Structure 1
Amino acid sequence: MACRHVEVAGIYSHFANADAADLSHARLQLERFHEALAVYEKLGERSPMRHIANSAAILQLPESHLDMVRPGILLYGVQPGPECPLTLPVRPALTWRSRVVYFKVLPSGHPVSYGSTWQSDHPVRVVTVPCGYGDGFPRALSNKAHVLIRGARFPVVGKVCMDQFMVNLGQGTAYNGDEVVLVGAQGGEVIRVEEVAERADTIAYEILTGISSRVPRAHVGD
């Protein structure tokens, strides 16, 4: 602390379990953080900026807010975890869209995508969407995800490819250029990031940070 070339601007830590239903470990961490701050203050140094609260702690541990807070996933209007409900009036800030590029009627028994992991037992209409795991749409969503087309939910079928995936419209209709919503709202339907993460057996953070630079970004509104 005596080094004249170093000025301490802040002291911080990070919670491991602030998104849990049981906050006992988070409160223990906060207690230890205060103990560390007390040691620093005994040195007679100027009190620095103190911060420890992540998105989950912003929602569940108001006593941890101190001098500033560090919202991350909360800025997207997304739950930090399934046991950490949104108690602030935030809303989803991200919509992920693509377009239909191909429409085909498949006969009964015709397989779809790599490995032939899906086939219909009756004639169906299938569309191709130009988005895949190279864009950040996880391969783990193969035969699990849903998307929105024309305000209705439809299942992703077959393996998600690097650059595209296929959607079963059943007897529905779509045309090349129709909007496909992977995350967001369309008509009266909504697909939240949390749902996508659960279907991929991962966390919302991974879905959000995994959207690759191949996906164009557009800022809409204020």
Structure 2
Amino acid sequence: MGRIGIIAENSESLIASALDSEHIYIKGVCSHFACADDPEDPKTLEQIDRFLEAVSVFEKLGTSIPLRHIANSGGVLYFPQSHLDIVRPGIILYGVYPGPSCPRILELKPALKLKSKVSFHKSIPTGFSISYGATWTSESTAEISTIPLGYGDGYPRQLSNRGEVLINGKRRPIVGRVCMDQFMVNCKSENQKAGAEVILIGEQDGQCITVEKMSNWAETIPYEILTNLNERLPRIYAN
């Protein structure tokens, strides 16, 4: 990864120095995969080999390591030989795959639902523009619902004119730009009442919007979708 730590070729001298110090107690050795969300990428197997080679230095110097760990969520799913002593599942604990194109080898159950309510509804005529920049204009009369949530809450602005929500089990496209605190959706000819439940992530009446799907719309990764959801959003823990 090249973020922190040392390269494998320098491990022997550092380990020897650590073992000679009375102030350092080695509890474990770890690394982190760069490409494990793609089971076909040979880079992960190369990383495993290099990591185990570095770990073998401890045995060469006459000691052992209590904990060896390198497997992130992708490693847990696709590279069982990387599990070693412990694993570090992250995003799969939320029931989300590391990437939208990852092979679905397990039935993960999403642990998170993001929902809101319709705060305002209006009928608009043909030629009416919605939101900042007037990037969407109606081609016919339409029913527009406002959702009181926006990029100030961590909802991606990249979903402007491309994302969807669920209302009454129907997919409703986002129209216009996502605002700081609100965004609008086109309910076509269906009038919505204020207070109607809106699903941004999750299931409703047999329809589903996943984090992976949302990340596709936003041209990003599921991790960014989840970590951007901030403290302005109330958390409710169920079951």
Superposition TM-score, scaled by structure 1 size: 0.96
2:153 to 131, 135, 138: 135
Q: Which range moved further: 183-192 or 15-24?
A: 15-24
Please name the residue that 1:210 is paired with.
228
CA displacement 1:17-55 (0-9 Å, x = unmatched): 111242311000000000000012222223220000010
- Read off the aligned partner of 1:60 and give its amino acid letter: Y
Work out the CA distance in 2 between the residues paired with 1:119 and 1:171.
Answer: 16
Secondary structure at the residue paired with 1:159?
Answer: coil
**Which residue of 1 is the match for residue 26 of structure 2?**
8
Tell me the amino acid that sits aligned with residue 53 of structure 1: A
Residue equivalent to 2:45: 27
Gaps of 5+ in 1: none
Higher helix residue share: 2
SS in 1 for 2:219: coil
Q: Does 1:17 align with 2:7?
A: no
Which amino acid letter does the alignment assign opposite residue 22 of structure 2? R
Q: In structure 1, the residue corresponding to 2:234 is in which secondary structure?
A: coil
Q: Which residue of 2 aligns with 1:60?
A: 78
Question: C-alpha deviations, 1:37-77, integer Å up to 9, x for none?
Answer: 00122222232200000101111100000001110111111
Is the alpha carbon distance of 1:113 and 1:124 closer, same or farther for their aligned partners in structure 2, counting shifts above 3 Å?
same
Determine which of 159, 167, 171 is the counterpart of 1:149.
167
Question: Aligned-residue CA RMSD in angstroms?
Answer: 1.0
Return the alpha-carbon distance in structure 2 between the equivalents of residues 195 and 90 of structure 1. 15
**AA matched with 1:28:** E
Distance 1:33 1:135 in 2: 40
Match of 1:109 in 2: 127
User: For the Cα contact (< 8 Å) 2:100–2:215, is it kept in 1?
Assistant: no
Question: Which 5+ residue runs of structure 2 have no aligned equivalent?
Answer: 1-17
- SS at structure 1 position matched to 2:208: strand
2:93 & 2:204 partners in 1: Cα distance?
A: 22
